[in-house]
Structure 1
Amino acid sequence: MDARRKDRARSLALASSCAAFVAVPCLGALLGRGEQTDRYDTVITPPDYAFAVWGPIFASCATSTVGQCLPGGRGDPVSRRTGWPLAGAYAVNAAWSVAAQTDRFSLTPYLLPVATAFAAAAHGRVQRVSGASGWAAATPVSTGLLLGWTALASVVNVAAGAVASGAPKSSPRNVAASTAALIAASTAVSASVVRSRRGGVPFALTAAWGLATTALSRGRPRAVRLAAAAGAIAVSACGGAACRQGNVT
């Protein structure tokens, strides 16, 4: 298969998966009960308003996909390096939404970490590309936004899976484990933001947003709020350093 055919095949997979990624949760909310994740609330779940972050994530991912799929963007080095991992991230995120909407929530703690791994692979690959042309230049931003949110969401989803299986949400053991997981996730995100040459600021923005809104949730245990606040400060500081180094896109 020559390079042009490979580019077309990748673009088709990317466009299809991105369309599903955006459409499945939006149509589910409009036509059915939606994802119903509030049934499995955890002590580290951000408040409802925090999920408005999906608006800019969807918009930026759609923009990036259009840029990669246009004839001028298909052969761009960023497109060729990140297209397949992003197609995987979008497809698995769409599968997560289907599972959450169809009362198969037991599958979601396995799906979201896989989606996050695909996004992390795309973020890692974009670090090794010198530049992008046209709308494909949106890829580092969109990938960073997606990775920052889903990295934390994966931890929350694992905790939600435990609650769904019968673990008491507010038991001391569960609170301690969830707090430790939040601290570990915040540390990993901070370290990754520091190492990012491109897309570091968007990466930090969505992660810090999730942590900060959790810290401001009065109904959460004190230990969780303190851990979330410390994580938000650490991630924001690393994002600020990335911004000073020009690692926005």
Structure 2
Amino acid sequence: MGDRIRSLALATACTAFVATPNLGALVGRGEQTRRYDTVITPPDYAFTVWAPIFACCIASTVAQCRPSGRGDPVSRRTGWALTGAYLVNTAWSLAAQTDRFRYTPYLLPLATAFAAVAHARVQGGPGGAAVTPASTGLLLGWTALASTVNVAAGAVAAGADRTGPRMVAGGTAGLVAASTAVATAVATSRRGAVPLALSSAWGLATTALTRHRPRAVRLAAAAGAAAITLAALRPVSRRRT
């Protein structure tokens, strides 16, 4: 019964997670993030990363909810954490679509924490569908970076000068901190390390290539992308769980 309840909660949360931003963009105004652009926000095309994230999360949810997957140890370890990540991401999207952007800097770090718990629990042992480590890695890699951007966007929404020296310095420091955290997670992951690296390095690399961003931001983004890529290239045998 516990496996069935968890599977139902996971399926419901994943459906809301995928449907809310897509339906909002189709029938409403969507997530009004452009109004709060920051010096560390990736370019618009970088957000196509959500396509593989959604696809992997759907596939992982289907695998965990199938009768053969409900009782799998990985499903049991990660199901509730992924449910939390999906629900909080849904809440973030709703807040961004309904002029409640002031709440988003608190929601996205919480969603990232849930994704981090799921990713850590994937490392606990074999089992589960191969797509589960991929989904947790992709989701964690992107939301870890997005959390940093969202904190900066919250400051802009509160009235900060988006291109002022303090915002540039704070944003640069935020990228360095986020990159260091992700690179460490990649280096110590036995499962899902490459997807984790790909989603975060993609966001950083596209930011580094955005010419109208401050030089310090572009350099920090490039260095972060390089560090994460190098961590992913380490032999699996040298990574620690």
For residues 93 and 153 of structure 2, the distance between their equivalents in structure 1, rounded to whole angstroms, comes to: 14
Cα separation, partners in 2 of 1:205 and 1:246, compared to 1, 3 Å: farther
Q: 1:233 maps to which residue?
A: 226
Gaps of 5+ in 1: none
2:55 and 2:238 mapped to 1: Cα distance? 23
Paired-residue identity, %: 71
Residue of structure 2 in register with 1:109 after alignment: 105
1:66 to 62, 67, 78: 62
The one-letter amino acid of 2:17's match is: F
Aligned to 1:161: 154
Task: Give the aligned partner of residue 143 of structure 1.
Answer: 136
**Match for residue 207 of structure 1?**
200
Give the Cα separation in 1 of the matches to 2:12 and 2:168: 39
The aligned counterpart of 2:96 is 100
Q: CA deviation at 1:131?
A: 2.2
Letter in structure 2 aligned against 1:11: S
Name the structure 1 match of 2:29: 33
Deviation at 1:113, TM superposition (A): 0.3
Post-superposition shift, 1:129? 2.0
TM-score of the pair, normalised by structure 1: 0.94
Q: Which amino acid aligns with 2:80?
A: W
In structure 1, the residue matched to 2:8 is 12
CA drift of 1:112 comes to 0.3
Using the alignment, how far apart are the partners of 2:209 and 2:195 within structure 1?
21
What amino acid sits opposite 2:22 in the alignment? Answer: C
Q: Partners in 2 of 1:143 and 1:174 — Cα distance?
A: 30
Displacement after TM superposition at 1:245 (Å): 4.9
Q: Distance in 2 between matches of 1:74 and 1:211?
A: 36
Give the deviation of 1:130 after TM superposition.
Answer: 1.8
Aligned pair partner of 1:78 in 74, 77, 85: 74
Paired amino acid for 1:139? T
2:173 is equivalent to residue 173 of structure 1: no
Q: Equivalent of 1:55, from 21, 36, 51? A: 51
Letter of the structure 2 residue corresponding to residue 198 of structure 1: R
2:187 matched to 1:194?
Answer: yes
User: TM-score scaled by structure 2?
Assistant: 0.97
Structure 1 counterpart of 2:125, one-letter code: V
Query: Which structure 1 residue ranges, 4+ long, deviate > 4 Å from structure 2?
Result: 244-247
Counterpart amino acid of 1:74?
R
